[in-house]
């Protein structure tokens, strides 16, 4: 509470305040208002607001009060120039207000024309009525002569202002000191018994309270949730992708990425330092099938024909794709073969240079469909249905190469917003030697497809730099205030 509030109390002790502006001259009305409202909240005073309309000099009016009217200034200049003031020099000597001064001095008869000069029209120094009137207005707020007041208003020397002041009286809880009210009941108060005499601040039921900070889903998680719902609606079950570390065997060898493939280089993949090695898989038959397909071929494949090294297969890597999990799921499916639909949306890692659209980790959306005698036509039909669920109604396919699918197709979707075809995913049919070496029957075929989660999220939330979506540059406001995503508009 301000010192001024104490001044108000001390003043009230001597008698009521009828007009705060008169009692406390020079105190800003906001300060008075602050003090009386907070004292009134404690019932220490009661107050009423008084509004008065008063006249006050404008900046030009203040100038006249300080420096004299334009006409008197002109008169003074005429007196100073002994031989008369050249009319042409008026503006030079008096500036822009010289013209007004000249007109009014003429009207008053204070000066007259003598050829091209002005000379004095009265001998005795005239009274500066304008200045006197303004001085009166400044101290009293008005002028008795309404006609003159109106004249000053027309000359823009005065304006009307609203003055707020207060009449203040003692309230029921009046005191000379302001007691600090307690806001909380504390353990100490209960222990010492002071709660019995403490005065508490009244609870304000109209107070708006503090915003509760309830956490928020990251935009990636919102889009991920939409993707999950699409998969569930199409009969998919979610794969357990809760492991970031894989062996080279599951990440590469089972997918027939040869051991000398550039994707397996240190420049592309993160290898673990500790521990370095994984155990060999328990299924020794599968292990030997994989080795045989790599080295010499089997199940209709001619193989890569190179010496396959178990040491490469047992290296530990941060998984470069979630297809490693799909491979493990299909291997499990071989024990009880039949139609299945699996999906996963999770993190993968690549040793990439970070830029506006790439990070060393991102999310892969992956789907796998196993069924008897599936064809490429089935895959195309499925992808059309899948993408139409997220608002992408026109898609095209382009032949591509993947080590573990044949044939393989990149998928392009027509982006209505951008007005062009953009790549939306990759797909293909898993190679027979990959499936048969797991023990899956020959006529059980498997479609696989994948897309990124970041790309559609960036498009949906109009983020152009991936570092504003993930990492230390992310604005928490952005995360907290973005709405949930809906796929009524094209996402990708
Ligand atoms: C009075 O005139 C002086 C000199 O021209 C100027 O600096 C000052 O601002 C004037 N006073 C007011 C209140 O305008
Ligand atoms: C109570 O809270 C409302 C809303 O914030 C505020 O306008 C009002 O001045 C408060 N009342 C008191 C007595 O502090
Ligand atoms: C798949 O196709 C093969 C060859 O046409 C047929 O023998 C087999 O019964 C089919 N499998 C199923 C489950 O329809």
Distance between CA atoms of residues 307 and 285, nearest Å: 18
Two tokens, residue 183:
């806001």
pLDDT in tens, 315-329: 999 999 999 999 999
**CATH classification of the domain holding 137:** 3.30.1370.240
Looking at the fold, whether 303 and 154 belong to one and the same domain comes out as: no
With tokens 């983020």, the residue in question is 463
Answer with the one of 192, 210, 228 that is the final residue of a domain.
210
pLDDT at 371 over 70: yes
CB of residue 183 inside a 6 A radius of ligand 2? no
Report pLDDT for 203.
84
Q: What is the pLDDT of residues 441-476, one digit of tens each?
A: 999 999 999 998 988 888 777 788 888 888 888 888
Smallest CA-to-CA distance from 156 within 97, 107, 210 is with 97
Domain that holds residue 50: 1-69+128-210
- Residue closest by Cα to atom 14 of ligand 1: 63
* Residues 261 and 389 occupy one common structural domain: yes
At 287, phi and psi to the nearest 5?
-55, -45
Whole-number average pLDDT of the chain: 90
Q: How far is the CA of 66 from the centre of ligand 1 (A)?
A: 7
∠ CA 268-274-277, nearest 5°, is 75
For residue 67, which ligand has an atom nearest its CA?
1
pLDDT in tens, 250-273: 999 999 999 999 889 888 899 999
Q: Is the pLDDT of residue 312 over 90?
A: yes
Tell me the per-residue pLDDT of 38-89, one tens digit each, with 9 for 90 and over. Answer: 999 889 999 999 988 889 999 999 999 999 999 999 999 888 887 788 888 8
Question: Do 294 and 202 have their domain in common?
Answer: no
Q: Ligand 3, residues 338, 340, 373: which to mutate, most atoms within 8 A of Cβ?
A: 373
Q: Assess whether 260 and 194 both reside in one domain.
A: no
CB of 67 sitting under 6 A from ligand 1: yes
With 0-12 CB in 10 A as exposed, 13-18 as middle and 19+ as buried, what is 422?
Answer: middle
Percent with pLDDT over 70 in the chain: 98
Residue 456: asked if its preceding bond is cis (omega within 30°), the reply is: no
**Same domain, yes or no: 475 and 335:** yes
Task: Report residue 378's pLDDT band, with 50, 70 and 90 as the boundaries.
Answer: very high
Residues 58 and 147 in one domain: yes
* H or E element that contains 305: none
Q: Is 208 a pocket residue for ligand 2 (Cβ < 6 Å)?
A: yes
Residue 417 has pLDDT above 80, yes or no: no
Domain shared by 391 and 294, yes or no: yes
Q: Which of 59, 63, 98 to mutate to test the pocket of ligand 1 (most atoms within 8 A of CB)?
A: 63
> How many Å apart are CA 25 and CA 3, to the nearest integer?
16
Q: Specify burial of residue 482 (Cβ count, 10 A radius: 0-12, 13-18, 19+).
A: middle
Please report whether residue 215 resides in a domain: no
Structure tokens at 194: 């002071």
Q: Is the pLDDT of residue 492 over 60?
A: no
Q: Which long-range contacts (CB under 8 A, 24 or more apart) does 467-473 make?
A: 467/354, 467/356, 467/359, 469/219, 469/220, 470/220, 470/359, 471/359
Q: Is 372 in the pocket of ligand 3 (CB under 6 A)?
A: yes
The CB of 63 under 6 Å from ligand 1? The reply is: yes
| Residues 392 and 253 occupy one common structural domain | yes
Cβ-proximal residues to 201 (8 Å cutoff; 6+ apart), any chain = 181, 182, 183
Q: What is the pLDDT of residues 87-129, one digit of tens each?
A: 888 888 888 888 889 899 989 989 988 888 888 888 888 999 9
Q: What's the whole-model pTM score?
A: 0.59
Domain count, the chain: 2
Sign of the alpha-carbon torsion through 16, 21, 25, 29: positive
CA 303–ligand 3 middle distance (angstroms): 27
């Amino acid at each position: 509470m301000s010192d001024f509030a104490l001044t108000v109390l001390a003043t009230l002790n001597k008698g009521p305040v009828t007009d705060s502006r008169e009692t406390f001259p020079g105190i800003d009305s906001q300060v008075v208002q602050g003090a009386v409202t907070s004292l009134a909240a404690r019932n220490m005073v009661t107050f009423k607001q008084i509004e008065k309309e008063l006249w006050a000099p404008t900046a030009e009016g203040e100038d006249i009060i300080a420096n004299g009217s334009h006409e008197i200034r002109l008169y003074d200049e005429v007196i100073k120039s002994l031989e008369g003031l050249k009319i042409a020099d008026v503006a030079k000597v008096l500036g822009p207000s010289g013209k007004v001064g000249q007109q009014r001095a003429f009207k008053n008869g204070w000066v007259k024309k003598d050829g091209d000069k002005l000379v004095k029209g009265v001998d005795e120094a005239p009274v500066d009525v304008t200045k006197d009137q303004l001085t009166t207005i400044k101290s009293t707020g008005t002028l008795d002569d309404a006609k003159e007041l109106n004249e000053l208003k027309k000359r823009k020397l005065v304006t009307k202002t609203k003055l707020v002041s207060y009449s203040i009286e003692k309230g029921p809880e009046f005191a000379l000191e302001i007691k600090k009210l307690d806001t909380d009941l504390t353990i100490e108060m209960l222990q010492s018994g002071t709660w019995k005499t403490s005065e508490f601040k009244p609870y304000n039921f109209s107070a708006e309270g503090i915003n509760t900070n309830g956490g928020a889903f990251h935009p990636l998680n919102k889009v991920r949730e939409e993707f999950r719902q699409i998969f569930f609606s199409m009969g998919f079950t979610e794969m357990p992708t809760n492991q970031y570390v894989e062996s080279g065997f599951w990440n590469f060898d089972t997918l027939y990425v040869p051991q000398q493939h550039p994707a397996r280089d240190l420049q592309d993949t993160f290898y673990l330092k500790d521990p370095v090695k994984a155990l060999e898989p328990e299924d020794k038959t599968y292990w030997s099938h994989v080795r045989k397909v790599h080295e010499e071929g089997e199940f209709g494949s001619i193989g890569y024909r190179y010496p396959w090294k178990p040491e490469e297969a047992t290296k530990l890597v941060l998984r470069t794709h979630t297809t490693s999990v799909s491979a493990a799921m299909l291997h499990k499916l071989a024990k009880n073969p039949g139609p299945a639909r699996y999906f996963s949306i999770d993190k993968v890692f690549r040793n990439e240079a970070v830029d506006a659209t790439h990070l060393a980790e991102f999310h892969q959306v992956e789907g796998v469909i196993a069924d008897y005698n599936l064809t490429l036509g089935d895959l195309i039909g499925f992808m059309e249905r899948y993408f139409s669920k997220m608002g992408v109604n026109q898609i095209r396919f382009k032949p591509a190469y993947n080590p573990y699918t044949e044939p393989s197709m990149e998928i392009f979707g027509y982006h209505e917003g951008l007005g062009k075809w953009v790549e939306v995913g990759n797909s293909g049919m898993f190679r027979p030697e990959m499936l048969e070496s797991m023990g899956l029957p020959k006529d059980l075929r498997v479609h696989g497809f994948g897309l990124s989660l970041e790309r559609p999220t960036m498009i949906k939330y109009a983020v152009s730099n991936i570092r504003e979506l993930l990492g230390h540059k992310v604005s928490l406001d952005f995360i907290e205030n973005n709405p949930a995503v809906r796929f009524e508009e094209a996402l990708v």
